[in-house]
Amino acid sequence: MEHTYAVIMAGGGGTRLWPVSRKERPKQLLPLLGKETLFQSTVARLETLFPPERILVVTVAEQAREMRKQVPSIPEENYLIEPAPRGTASVVALAAAVVKKRDPQALMAIQTSDHFIRNVDLFRYLISTAFDVADKGYLVTLGITPTFPSTGYGYIQQGEPLVGDYKYPVYEVKRFKEKPDEATAQQLLRGGDHSWNSGMFVWHVDTILAEVERQMPELFKAVTRISSAWDAPNRKEIIEEVWHGLKSQTVDYGIMEKAEKVAVLPAGGLGWSDVGSWDSLFEVLLPDMNGNVSTNAQHLGLDTHNTLVYCGDDQRLVVTIGLDDIVIVDAGDVLMICKVDQSQKVRDVVAHLKKHHQEKYL
């Protein structure tokens, strides 16, 4: 499929994996899984489908420098630099305009940079099916079959199955739903016709740009102006100027929810995780027979169960005795030890430190 492209969105910061992730060191650039960073494993996964010349990255300048170091295979001109974050709708529209300029017949897969996927074979299978569907003029989203009533994700309700010779079942999208409360999440899980919104999309550049033009005409004008100036000497100035005038908007709310032909591939068994909190690493890294997980650490556990040890320094010995359900994160200047089921309270700690002007730990 020579007209297919991947676009990795990698602008985000976030402190849910504090104290390892920091303002200057976002999650995707950290070796959370061992030696590899999430960004590196994302690229490795995509390189089974796309040559590096057809993988693009949209990010901010500081992160681009680090990414170039981590993944030298992607050409420098494939980095699209956002002067400032303006939401995923802007990213998607810019990427589509730039890719279209390069290849008017292009199909593109929008990918997150900081998620984990265990089953790469299934992923390849889904993406190639999604390209077949996108080729018919659909905006395709990858859905994740829910495994628990999460209140942390948006949901996608599937409607009728699409007719066609697809290798994997595909459905029309009936509705996008915001993050639900717990009772609603229970209902959605039981209903069996809802998927989590993974933030991964596949479409033809013309399909998405037509929707941008229809629903967000100002954004369309902006990215058209940028792509026209792409080969001009003052490209950077034009991007700066145009970008700062944009309103921040998500692709879900700004485009997908009111788009015309939207399809969903609900994927079960992908081994997907958004690695959104420390306890999610128990899903991503495989626990040993005591339920323990350790990464970048030399762990000696006596009578220790369901305990995670993350340590930046694998020369350091971490000894645990009599622990159950504990997360231990050694991030150099900060050591965090936390009950597993309270790992979301990391946010309260970050808020506390911000309030007390402890910037050096943020």
CB 23 to its own copies: min, Å: 16
CB 275 to its own copies: min, Å: 19
CB 150 to its own copies: min, Å: 21
Taking CA atoms, 15 is separated from 21, 26, 35, 176, in Å, by 6, 8, 21, 26
C-beta closer to its own copies: residue 120 or 323: 323
User: H-helix or E-strand containing 31?
Assistant: none
* DSSP, res 25: B
CB 288 to its own copies: min, Å: 17
C-beta closer to its own copies: residue 24 or 240: 24
For residues 254 and 215, the answer to whether their CB atoms sit within 8 Å is yes
Dihedral, CA atoms, 144, 149, 155, 161, nearest 10 degrees?
60
> Distance between terminal CA atoms of the chain?
44
C-beta closer to its own copies: residue 150 or 320: 320
C-beta closer to its own copies: residue 245 or 322: 322
* DSSP, res 342: G
How far is the C-alpha of 139 from the C-alpha of 201, rounded, in Å? Answer: 7
Residues 6+ apart with CB under 8 A from 100: 106, 205, 206, 209, 227
C-beta closer to its own copies: residue 189 or 349: 349
CB 342 to its own copies: min, Å: 4
How far is the C-alpha of 21 from the C-alpha of 8, rounded, in Å? Answer: 19
How far is the C-alpha of 245 from the C-alpha of 226, rounded, in Å? Answer: 13
C-beta closer to its own copies: residue 175 or 316: 316
Interacting residue ranges for its own copies, rule: CB under 8 A: 19, 300, 302-303, 311, 315-323, 326, 328, 330, 333-339, 341-343, 345-346, 348-349, 352, 358, 361
C-beta closer to its own copies: residue 165 or 333: 333
Position 198, amino acid: S
CB 357 to its own copies: min, Å: 14
For residue 19, whether the previous peptide bond is cis, meaning omega lies within 30 degrees of 0, is: yes
CB 280 to its own copies: min, Å: 16
* DSSP, res 163: P
